[in-house]
Amino acid sequence: MTTTNIQNEIIDNFSLFEGDMESTLFYLMDLGKKLPTMPDEHKTETYIVKGCQSKVWVFPTFIDGKVYFEADSNTEITKGLVYLLWSIWNAQTPDEILTSELFFIDKIGMSRMIGSQRSNGFANMIKQMKLYALAYRTKDA
Amino acid sequence: MLDNITYIRAQFPILHQEVNGKPLVYFDNAATTQKPRQVIDALKRYYELDNANIHRAAHTLAARSTDYFEATRKTIQQFINAKEEAECIFTKGVTESINLVAQTWGKANLNAGDEVLITTMEHHSNIVPWQMICEEKGAILKVTPINNSGELLMEEFDKLLSTKTKIVACVWVSNALGTINPVKEIIQKAHSVGAIVLLDGAQACSHMQVDVQALDCDFLTISSHKLYGPTGVGVLYGKRELLDAMPPYEGGGEMIKDVTFEKTTYNEIPYKFEAGTPNIGGVIAFKFALDYVNELGKENIAKHEDHLLKHFVDGVNQINLLNNNAINLVGEAKSKVSVQSFTINNMHHFDVGMMLDAKGIAVRTGHHCTQPLMQRFNLEGTVRASFALYNTTAEIDTLLQALSSIVKFSNR
């Protein structure tokens, strides 16, 4: 599936809550539980994306032209968003990751999580995943 | 108590709105309080009718804005019972007030081996300025520890206080815990060894009666925005003899007597410390906040807030009875104001804050600019609810109901 298709599916699922913030957050926290377990040995200082309150870890690998991510967060709501991002970008090519627009965040009412808030690691995670993709593309070229 | 809460709430326009489809419940008052209509109108009136630079020109607007500006100084002098108006210096807020003292009094009076005594529950703004000047001067920063309820260990304070102590810089009321510190005792003890005392009054001044002469404190710092006034305005109170002897802080307009390229002589206090054009409109509007608090009466406000705090703590205890003590109160001092930190088992404070926001409830989450205090409790952060004069028990019930459903979710 393309990253656009995956995002449209996410938006469809969230539209059931009709913008109700509380149900959205409960659903996000449940989604977070679906994230594959990230081994503790990869949750090191090197792979941490820092935020004042919520932290995120991202560990990339590059196999056969595709980027694979392991990821986790110390807070449940951010972990739900991390899961969504993982479901979009995991096992995609560096080009797909670098060119895709993340339009789902705004559509599910979570745009504040990528705003200027220094309190959460999610905004920095997006940048970090793109940086990994860029590094792999450069290496692959 | 505050009799007519509906009337009081009507004076705070911001409270009457919906957030995420729910009526706003504002419980982040320790971060900043909302402003009554009188303050908002005064700000608007200043820019519409009176805007002019103060203490300079001969024209009517300048005279008017100067008069109003100085009227606030008179009001704050009476509000804290300072001996004279000149002892009240306008700053940007508590942070600048403390930095001013550290950089001027500290520069002139601290030497290698001298000690500055603070407490574990200080806000970063009463830690970092002292660390900076201590590093520069080779002075030593000492810290009075606290017990598990969040109260100062006064026997440890007694041990740390000595003739080496030059200043005790102490928070009057803790922003994260709500603890009211025994500042009268601290001041007496500090003076007995020849040390002076700076009180961080950021949280205290909206809840407590303030009388700097009765306290005999040497410096008191105040932020307008935590006292229902505008942001960007604060006060440094200092005893005249200390302020007179201190070197100036910033150089510029207003703070000079005469300037030549060879030498500049400095103005008298308070102007010596008020370089540059201040936040004139903010200072003028601050008077209306002080008048408002005076009108309601500090004692009435305190009774109302104490009642709110008790209502909240009783409600939390009730939730805990049914849910295996899922909510942990942080800061249970015997003497405290209407600020309550807490954590919920199996829930990160950031998630709790987001879920409460979804219900229209504004609380603070995080370390509250008191990282060493959080470390003392082995916490990364807490959720903090802080109640003000316009809050109601019905709003607290809304918070308790939301916490109850979060606790149930966390137990799934």
Residue-level pLDDT at B229: 98
Residue-level pLDDT at A123: 79
Q: Are B354 and A29 in contact (CB < 8 Å)? A: no
How far is the C-alpha of B123 from the C-alpha of B118, rounded, in Å?
Answer: 10
As a three-state string, the secondary structure of chain A is: CCHHHHHHHHHHHHHCCCCCHHHHHHHHHHHHCCCCCCCHHHCCHHHEECCCCECEEEEEEEECCEEEEEEEECCHHHHHHHHHHHHHHCCECHHHHHHCCCCHHHHCCCHHHHCCCCCECHHHHHHHHHHHHHHHHHHHC
CATH number of domain containing B208: 3.40.640.10
In 3-state terms, what secondary structure has residue B327?
strand
Residue-level pLDDT at B257: 85
Confidence tier at A85 by pLDDT (50, 70, 90): very high
The answer to whether A128 contacts chain B (CB < 8 Å) is: no
The answer to whether B371 contacts chain A (CB < 8 Å) is: no
- Give the closest-approach CA distance of B22 to chain A in angstroms: 10
Of A25, A76, A120, the CB nearest to B358: A25
Q: Which of A13-17, A59-63, B55-59 shows the lowest mean pLDDT across its residues?
A: B55-59
- Give the closest-approach CA distance of A96 to chain B in angstroms: 31
Residues B83 and B219 in one domain: yes
Confidence tier at A119 by pLDDT (50, 70, 90): low
Confidence tier at A52 by pLDDT (50, 70, 90): low
Q: Mention every residue, 6+ apart, whose C-beta is less than 8 A from residue A126.
A: A85, A102, A114
- Give the closest-approach CA distance of B370 to chain A in angstroms: 13
Residues B343 and B382 in one domain: yes
**Sheet arrangement for strand B339-344:** B327-330, B339-344, B382-386, B364-366
* Residues from chain B contacting residue A29 (CB–CB below 8 Å): 351, 409
In 3-state terms, what secondary structure has residue B168?
strand
Structure tokens at A34: 């679906």
Residues B13 and B110 in one domain: no
Residue-level pLDDT at B252: 85
Of B355, B357, B366, the CB nearest to A53: B366
Residues B164 and B312 in one domain: no
- CB atoms near residue B130 (< 10 Å): 24
Chain B residue with the nearest C-alpha to that of A110: B354
B130: enclosing H helix or E strand:
helix B128-137
The answer to whether B71 contacts chain A (CB < 8 Å) is: no
The answer to whether A18 contacts chain B (CB < 8 Å) is: no
Residues B151 and B286 in one domain: yes
Active site residues of A: 52
Residues B110 and B172 in one domain: yes
Does residue B91 form part of some domain? Answer: yes
Does residue B34 form part of some domain? Answer: no
Q: Tens-of-pLDDT digits for all 412 residues of chain B?
A: 677 999 999 999 999 999 999 999 999 999 999 999 999 999 999 999 999 999 888 899 999 999 999 999 999 999 999 999 999 999 999 999 999 999 999 999 999 999 999 999 999 999 999 999 999 999 999 999 999 999 999 999 999 999 999 999 999 999 999 999 999 999 999 999 999 999 999 999 999 999 999 999 999 999 999 999 999 999 999 999 999 999 999 888 878 888 888 888 888 999 999 999 999 999 999 999 999 999 999 999 999 999 999 999 999 999 999 999 999 999 999 999 999 999 999 999 999 999 999 999 999 999 999 999 999 999 999 999 999 999 999 999 999 999 999 999 888 7
The answer to whether A29 contacts chain B (CB < 8 Å) is: yes
Residues in chain B: 412
Angle between helices A76-89 and A21-32 (to 10 degrees): 70
Which residue, of B239, B268, B295, is where some domain finishes?
A: B295
Which residue, of B279, B295, B311, is where some domain finishes?
A: B295
Give me the helices (H) in B167-245, please: 183-192, 212-215, 240-245
Percent above pLDDT 90 for chain A: 62
CB neighbour class for B286 (10 Å; exposed up to 12, middle 13-18, buried from 19): buried
Residues B207 and B283 in one domain: yes
B361: enclosing H helix or E strand:
strand B361-362
Residue-level pLDDT at A116: 58
Residue-level pLDDT at A110: 83
Which residue, of B295, B330, B355, is where some domain finishes?
A: B295
The answer to whether B31 contacts chain A (CB < 8 Å) is: no
How far is the C-alpha of A1 from the C-alpha of B339, rounded, in Å?
Answer: 51
* Residues from chain B contacting residue A75 (CB–CB below 8 Å): 348, 350-351
The answer to whether A84 contacts chain B (CB < 8 Å) is: no
For residue B202, give Cα distances in angstroms to B38, B170, B290: 22, 11, 14
Q: Which residues pair with B237 in a beta bridge?
A: B88, B220
**CB of B199 closer than 8 Å to CB of B181:** no
Query: What's the domain range around B76?
Result: 39-295
Query: What's the domain range around A53?
Result: 3-140
How far is the C-alpha of B394 from the C-alpha of B163, rounded, in Å?
Answer: 52
Residues B201 and B314 in one domain: no
Preferred mutation among A23, A72, A75 to probe B, highest tally of B CBs within 10 A: A75
How far is the C-alpha of B369 from the C-alpha of A88, rounded, in Å?
Answer: 36
- Interface predicted TM-score (ipTM): 0.87
Residues 41-80 on A with a CB inside 8 Å of B are: 52-54, 74-78
CATH number of domain containing A56: 3.90.1010.10
Q: Quote the number of domains for chain B.
A: 2
Residue-level pLDDT at A53: 73
pTM for this predicted structure: 0.93
Q: Quote the number of domains for chain A.
A: 1
* Residues from chain B contacting residue A56 (CB–CB below 8 Å): none
Answer yes or no: B369 catalytic: yes
DSSP B291-323: HHHHHH-HHHHHHHHHHHHHHHHHHHHHHHHHT
pLDDT at A115 over 70: no
Residues B155 and B190 in one domain: yes
Residues B288 and B340 in one domain: no
pLDDT at A113 over 80: no
Q: Which amino acid is at B160?
A: L
